[in-house]
Structure 1
Amino acid sequence: MKGSPTIPPAGCLLPLLLLVFAGVSGEASWFSVKGPAEPITVLLGTDATLPCQLSPKQSAAHMHIRWYRAQLTPAVLVFHNGQVQGEVQMPEYEGRTQMLGHDIDTGSVALQIQQVQASDDGLYHCQFSDGFTSQEVSIELQVVGLGSAPLVHMTGPENNGIRVLCSSSGWFPKPRVQWRDTIGDTLLSSSESQTLDRDGLFHIETSLLVTDRAIGNVICSIQNPIWDQEKSKAILLPEPFFPTTSPWKVALACILPILLVILAWTSFATWKEHQVKRREEKQLSKEQWEMRQMKEETKSAVKDRDDLQTDLDRRKALYKEDWKMALLYPDVCSALFQTGGRNCSSWLL
């Protein structure tokens, strides 16, 4: 009929609908989300603000805004229909987060995290959803914990040196630990341990063995790898605290083995000589005993001889006396021996 509208063929209807849908979808998704290019760094225990901006600028009051970390649900914070949706929030962020939407009409919002903890460190995603369209941006939050001032003390002499200990707590992330001398040269530590406490903060213990008396003092330095700030402590190492090593002790330690060998050999030679001497003394004693016995026997024989000679001399003397008496008194002699039939001459004989 003339004047009635012309209906396009069915084959042309589908491409036309797709074209219209694409145009509507393209118009609805014509936005992007921008965030800071550099990580946001905050001190432990302070508040962190993570900004998020629609581009081009437009109202986000009717949009679904979600802040999340590794997964969409549960989220760090969800804003929808003009209010925060607490039922889908991660328990560790309850009471510590809020959305700053003072410029929400221009698409500028921000997530505020109060009393930042070590566990808050990491990547966050800011997502805007409008109907079937969503765009997001990732923002990195860096948490910095500057620990306590190092505690440094000596533990006394050890292995011809002095061991120095250094400890500190409350660092995040893992800090760099360094020993230095007064001119800035690095000293290699003997041991180092870094452990996490229940709050996720690092506790550091390190030790250094100083054997060079000329160093004088050492510095324990602990530095945060994100912020170029360090905390350090110096300690003086007086020379009297070093163990003394006298030259004669060193020399004695070198020659002591030789002395021990010489002493052992000398002791053995002395023992052998003593054994020979004892055998000689025994032999000599035996000979001396035999000689003494011979002397005593000879002495006894001489005494017996002398006694016999004395007795003989005595008898001779008596004999001479009797003879004289017989010559002087012949009558007496005859009278004494007359009865026996003997004369003085026979008696004298």
Structure 2
Amino acid sequence: MGHQPEKSSLNLQTGTAVVFQILLLIHTCTGQSEDLDPSQSIRAMVGDDITLPCSLKPPKDASQTTVEWGRLDLMPRFVHVWHEGQEHLVDQNRAYKGRASVSAGQLKHGDASLRISDVRLTDNGRYRCYVPKDQTENYVYLLVGSVSSPEIRLAGLDEGSSGVMLDCSSGTWWPEPELLWLDAEGHVLSAGPTETTRGSDGLLAVSSRVTVQKSPNNTITCRIHQKDLKQSRETHVHVPDDFFVVRSSCSVSISFSVLFCCLFLVSASVLVWRQRHLSKKKETTKTTEEERELMRVEQKLQDDDLKSRIRELEKKLTIQMMEAQNDADEFNKKIKDFQEETEKEAKQNKNKEIKTGSDLTLKEIVREHNAKLGERKKGYDKILLDIQKMIREKKENQNQVEWKEEKRENRQEEMKK
């Protein structure tokens, strides 16, 4: 008989719990629903501690009543349940164990706000604060996001221009962000499409590549923005002037074009002068045979000397062209090897900052190539000076011959008189 009260108490507690469970199930689809107010949207980052608001109106003591926090998209749906002065965690969703709570002290003042610690990406969703006694419910939307600062690395040189290729990447974003490249003035640069990949943790990795041209500032910004979270992250980088290289093949083509044009002008001037001189000789019928022979010998000597000098210049140009082509091939091979090495490092998740040891290697490649271009330019300048000297000498010889021709004609006129 002494043990019957304990058994009766146990049955009473068990019956109360069963009745409470039944009441929770009955009230799943009941209650006065309130539309989700935009102001009731809470933004949080992964790892934050946040509070979802819920207040009884008018304020009253809710510490001895039932307050259910849940998500209707979960099974079981219960995030946290407060019942008659204590937590009721029997059917709590395992994802929230140890992370969800309400304040007993605040409940006495009608504040049933839910605190969630160490927010996870899976916490993203629509939460309901439900008070069965009053049959009222309030909805709060929790938007969980993740952001990270972007990293910029040097991807190499663009083979089609003198531009520098840059890669920007960032590995932990949610929801999907927008990636933009900006110049020093804040203008959006034209870039390749943004690539997005999802990791095993559900977060998104974004990356993009841009080719930039030399500018007065050379400061480039990679900005990543998430409009729903109203969050932005950006990284700036300054690209040194030494990284921008004018293609050697282009400079070689221009130099050789100028030099061959000069040679062509020299040859053309010689032909024109000879044609004019022959015409004058045909018109002059009284020039002595000895004078004509002397002129032919003199002209032949000058022509032979000019041809010899032109052949020598052509030989020098050919040598310069071959050496320049070898330099260009060597430079392009070094750049290709460098690009392959940087891509390999990127895949191995090594340091991706612009100021790395590999960047110093690229600087050395560019500096060496610029030095060779400087030496090549000195060779071109010397050949160009030789051509200009030939043109001056040819003009002087032409003027001298014309002066002699005029002098002979004047002497013949005097003899006629």
Question: Shared fold by TM > 0.5?
Answer: yes
1:195-206 equivalences under 5 Å are: 195-206=197-208
The structure 2 residue matched to 1:230, chosen from 230, 233, 237, is 233
Q: Deviations over 1:223-255 (max 9, x none)?
A: 2322343222324153553351526637999xx
The structure 2 residue matched to 1:54, chosen from 40, 53, 56, is 56
Q: Quote the Cα distance in structure 2 between the aligned partners of 1:34 and 1:175.
A: 25
Q: Any conservation in 1 of the 2:36–2:140 contact (CA below 8 Å)? A: no
Q: Any conservation in 2 of the 1:35–1:51 contact (CA below 8 Å)? A: no
In the alignment, what sits opposite 2:147? 146
- For residue 214 of structure 1, give the secondary structure of its aligned residue in structure 2: coil
Residue 163 of structure 2 is aligned to residue 159 of structure 1: no
Q: Quote the Cα distance in structure 2 between the aligned partners of 1:158 and 1:136.
A: 64
Counterpart code for 1:119 = T
Q: Any conservation in 1 of the 2:70–2:127 contact (CA below 8 Å)? A: yes
Distance 1:219-1:237 versus aligned 2 partners, 3 A rule:
farther
Q: Any conservation in 2 of the 1:157–1:242 contact (CA below 8 Å)? A: no
Q: Quote the Cα distance in structure 2 between the aligned partners of 1:195 and 1:135.
A: 42
Distance 1:246-1:136 versus aligned 2 partners, 3 A rule:
same
Distance 1:82-1:36 versus aligned 2 partners, 3 A rule:
farther
- For residue 109 of structure 1, give the secondary structure of its aligned residue in structure 2: coil
Unaligned 5+ segments in structure 1 are 1-28, 254-349
Q: Any conservation in 2 of the 1:128–1:136 contact (CA below 8 Å)? A: yes
In the alignment, what sits opposite 2:112? 109
Distance 1:252-1:82 versus aligned 2 partners, 3 A rule:
farther
**TM superposition shift of 1:30:** 11
Q: Quote the Cα distance in structure 1 between the aligned partners of 2:256 and 2:78.
A: 75
Distance 1:34-1:81 versus aligned 2 partners, 3 A rule:
farther
The structure 1 residue matched to 2:87, chosen from 84, 87, 97, is 84
- For residue 149 of structure 2, give the secondary structure of its aligned residue in structure 1: coil
1:1-349 equivalences under 5 Å are: 37-71=39-73, 73-130=76-133, 133-160=134-161, 161-210=163-212, 212-214=213-215, 216-225=218-227, 226-236=229-239, 238=241, 240-244=243-247, 246=250, 249=253
Counterpart code for 1:81 = E
Distance 1:106-1:168 versus aligned 2 partners, 3 A rule:
same
Q: Quote the Cα distance in structure 1 between the aligned partners of 2:220 and 2:145.
A: 27
Counterpart code for 1:55 = K
Larger radius of gyration: 1
- For residue 102 of structure 1, give the secondary structure of its aligned residue in structure 2: helix
Q: Quote the Cα distance in structure 2 between the aligned partners of 1:237 and 1:189.
A: 20
More off after superposition, 192-201 vs 237-246: 237-246
Q: Quote the Cα distance in structure 2 between the aligned partners of 1:31 and 1:183.
A: 51
Aligned length, in residue pairs: 222
**TM superposition shift of 1:135:** 1.1
Q: Quote the Cα distance in structure 2 between the aligned partners of 1:30 and 1:248.
A: 82
Q: Deviations over 1:239-290 (max 9, x none)?
A: 553351526637999xxxxxxxxxxxxxxxxxxxxxxxxxxxxxxxxxxxxx
Q: Deviations over 1:282-328 (max 9, x none)?
A: xxxxxxxxxxxxxxxxxxxxxxxxxxxxxxxxxxxxxxxxxxxxxxx
**TM superposition shift of 1:126:** 0.7
Counterpart code for 2:49 = D
Q: Deviations over 1:110-168 (max 9, x none)?
A: 111111112222321111111xx521011122334231342332323333233211111
**TM superposition shift of 1:178:** 0.6
Q: Quote the Cα distance in structure 2 between the aligned partners of 1:64 and 1:169.
A: 43
TM-score, normalised by the number of residues in structure 1: 0.56
Distance 1:198-1:177 versus aligned 2 partners, 3 A rule:
same
TM-score, normalised by the number of residues in structure 2: 0.47
Q: Any conservation in 1 of the 2:173–2:205 contact (CA below 8 Å)? A: yes
Distance 1:185-1:30 versus aligned 2 partners, 3 A rule:
closer
Counterpart code for 2:232 = Q
Query: How much identity, in percent, do the aligned residues show?
Result: 25
**TM superposition shift of 1:96:** 1.3
CA RMSD of aligned residues (A): 3.2
- For residue 148 of structure 2, give the secondary structure of its aligned residue in structure 1: coil
Q: Quote the Cα distance in structure 1 between the aligned partners of 2:230 and 2:34.
A: 32
- For residue 86 of structure 1, give the secondary structure of its aligned residue in structure 2: coil
Q: Quote the Cα distance in structure 1 between the aligned partners of 2:72 and 2:48.
A: 23
**TM superposition shift of 1:31:** 12
- For residue 178 of structure 1, give the secondary structure of its aligned residue in structure 2: strand
Q: Quote the Cα distance in structure 2 between the aligned partners of 1:84 and 1:33.
A: 27
